[in-house]
Amino acid sequence: MESCVHIYCGDGKGKTTAAIGLAVRASGCNKKVLIARFLKTDHSGEVLALQTLSGITVMPCEKSFGFFTNMTDEQKKEARIYYSGLLDRVLEKAVNEPFDLLVLDEIMAVCNYGLVDEGTVLQFISGRPENLEVVLTGRNPSSQLLDQADYVSEIKKIRHPYDRGINARRGIEY
């Protein structure tokens, strides 16, 4: 089976939800899944649920730096070191263990903010293990990432409760 690259992008809610749905589907078909989350801690409801499913490994994201626009230069430097290290560990694990699906949640954001090297992601995608399906989520993928993708799904916001001042709700948005 030839593997493909998926991009779930756009300004709407549901990019991570789509990626997690695919991970659950793969797990249900006895596939091994590796999930890495960037810019998010492991306090989201899906992490707890995913940890109960066989065949799914969620790489821990143990540090939170808050919103990029609120970070100091020192925090950005620390975040760059942390997320680059996380990406390196994830990609090494994806190469050295027999995973069928890799989800890099919010990878576009950390690439766009310069917290990880997009070239590393592109190089990995083009040389990934033969049967490894890869999912990338986030806003504003670069043209280089789009060129590497087999699937590109844009999730467009029409309306969102946040626009009315309703903050993210546990179990719905995280």
Per-residue pLDDT tens for 111-130?
999 999 999 999 999 999 99
What DSSP line would sit under 38-65, residue for residue?
SS--TTSHHHHHHTTSTTEEEE------
pLDDT tens digit string along 43-99?
Answer: 788 998 999 999 999 998 888 888 898 999 999 999 999 999 999 999 999 999 999
- Confidence at residue 171, expressed as pLDDT on a 0 to 100 scale: 85
For residue 30, the SS3 value is coil
Share above pLDDT 70 across residues of the chain, in percent, rounded to a whole number: 99
- Confidence at residue 68, expressed as pLDDT on a 0 to 100 scale: 92
> CA–CA separation, 88 vs 83, rounded Å?
8
Over residues 93-106, mean pLDDT: 97
Model confidence at 107: pLDDT above 80: yes
pLDDT tens digit string along 6-41?
Answer: 999 999 999 999 999 999 999 999 999 999 999 988
pLDDT tens digit string along 131-157?
Answer: 999 999 999 999 999 999 999 999 999
CATH of region 5-164 = 3.40.50.300
CA-wise closest residue to 22 among 39, 40, 4: 4
